[in-house]
């Protein structure tokens, strides 16, 4: 090994002294790259974020994914997968890590005879009913409930204020909703409210339009759908709570979820409220803004990105 010349030794000694005192190293400062942001190296976790096949779920999935990426989690998004009947098995098996869920709808799916209605009661029951492979994180205040919705004209004509009022006319009319709506709700409506419809028509994401056009008398519309206001529709009251609490709640695969994922998603839930969700959905459904852009704007405004 070569010995250092006297001059080189002096320079090296000075550089080491500066470094030890917290100063900049003159031998390396010119070529040193900037330090990576803390968020980019904060986690070694990975996550696969899925969503159901409707716009609000895709938006929520994008919110989750971007929030996690900001914390250094390596994320793969799988949007628009399908209904709960399809997606639930994927998160249970570990094909998905995270799914934005609706707590009451999830409970009705895994425990159809449950009578829990409030957010706290629903979540308490979910924690006992869910299999060991999955768990729920904190629920948001944001809630998007199922509803049976009619036009204002129909509400006035038939004196409809609640789902119960439909019983006197339902046999003569058509009800619309997602393809799985009949399977999930027909027995409940009959047992609880005495409802029997002439026909159950699959209308999927166009239910609000089908109600407005008269294709169906009533339909299953999410309460955050901006078309309720734009089309002057009325969501009927549900005094017997067929539709329980539907708070936005992350459902995660337990084995694949680390601390960074949990704390990040809980922070998202702490900020998300119903009014904001309605505003975001208006941007997507009416203004035709991209879901990822809307998600990024909300995360930025709330200091999560």
**Residue 21 pLDDT > 70:** no
Rounded distance, CA 31 to CA 9, Å?
A: 21
Question: What is the model's pLDDT at position 12?
Answer: 36
Q: Please give the CATH topology (third level) of the domain spanning 148-235.
A: D-Maltodextrin-Binding Protein; domain 2 (3.40.190)
pLDDT one-digit tens code per residue, 83-142: 999 999 999 999 999 999 999 999 999 998 898 999 999 999 999 999 999 999 999 999
Q: How far is CA 287 from CA 166, 279, 284, in A?
A: 33, 11, 6
Residue 5 confidence class, pLDDT cut points 50, 70, 90:
very low
Q: Please give the CATH topology (third level) of the domain spanning 39-144+245-301.
A: D-Maltodextrin-Binding Protein; domain 2 (3.40.190)
Question: What is the model's pLDDT at position 154?
Answer: 98
Residue 248 φ/ψ, nearest 5 degrees: -65, 125
Mean pLDDT score of the chain = 87
The mean pLDDT value for 71-91 works out to 96
Rounded distance, CA 43 to CA 129, Å?
A: 31
**Residue 234 pLDDT > 60:** yes
Residue 17 confidence class, pLDDT cut points 50, 70, 90:
very low
In this predicted model, which residue has the larger pLDDT, 242 or 157? 157
Question: What is the model's pLDDT at position 184?
Answer: 86
Q: For residue 1, what are the contacts with CB-CB under 8 A and spacing of at least 6?
A: none
pLDDT one-digit tens code per residue, 27-44: 233 333 333 334 445 578
Q: 39-144+245-301 with 148-235: one CATH topology? A: yes
Q: How far is CA 26 from CA 202, 296, 297, in A?
A: 71, 40, 41
Question: What is the model's pLDDT at position 85?
Answer: 92
Question: What is the model's pLDDT at position 241?
Answer: 87
What's the token pair of residue 66? Answer: 């971007």
Taken in order 53, 140, 43, 90, the sign of the CA dihedral is negative
Question: What is the model's pLDDT at position 32?
Answer: 34
The mean pLDDT value for 174-187 works out to 92
Enumerate the domain spans of the chain: 39-144+245-301, 148-235
Rounded distance, CA 208 to CA 149, Å?
A: 8
Residue 157, classified by CB atoms within 10 Å of its CB into exposed (0-12), middle (13-18) or buried (19+), is: exposed
**Residue 13 pLDDT > 60:** no
């Amino acid at each position: 090994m070569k010995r250092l010349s006297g001059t080189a030794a002096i320079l090296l000694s000075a550089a080491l002294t500066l470094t030890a005192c917290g100063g900049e190293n003159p031998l390396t400062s010119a070529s040193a790259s900037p330090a990576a942001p803390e968020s980019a190296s904060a986690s070694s976790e990975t996550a696969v974020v899925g969503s159901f096949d409707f716009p609000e779920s895709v938006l929520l999935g994008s919110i989750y994914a971007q929030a996690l990426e900001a914390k250094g989690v390596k994320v793969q998004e799988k949007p628009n997968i399908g209904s709960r009947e399809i997606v639930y098995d994927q998160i249970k098996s570990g094909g998905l890590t995270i799914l934005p869920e609706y707590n009451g709808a999830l409970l009705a799916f895994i425990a159809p005879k449950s009578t829990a209605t409030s957010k706290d009661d629903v979540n308490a029951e979910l924690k006992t009913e869910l299999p060991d492979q999955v768990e729920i994180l904190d629920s948001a205040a944001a809630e998007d409930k199922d509803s049976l919705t009619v036009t204002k004209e129909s509400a006035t004509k038939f004196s409809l204020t609640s789902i119960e009022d439909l019983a006197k006319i339902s046999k003569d009319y058509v009800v619309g909703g997602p393809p799985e709506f009949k399977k999930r709700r027909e027995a409940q409506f009959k047992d609880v409210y005495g409802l029997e419809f002439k026909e159950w028509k699959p209308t999927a994401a166009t239910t609000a339009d089908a109600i407005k056009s008269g294709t169906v008398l009533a339909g299953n519309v999410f309460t955050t759908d901006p078309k309720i206001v734009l089309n002057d529709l009325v969501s009927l009251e549900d005094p017997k709570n067929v539709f329980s609490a539907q708070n936005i709640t992350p459902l995660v695969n337990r084995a694949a979820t680390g601390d960074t994922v949990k704390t990040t998603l809980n922070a998202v839930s702490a900020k998300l409220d119903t009014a904001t969700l309605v505003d975001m959905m208006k941007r997507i459904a009416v203004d035709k803004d991209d879901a990822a852009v809307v998600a990024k704007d909300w995360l930025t405004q709330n200091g999560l990105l």
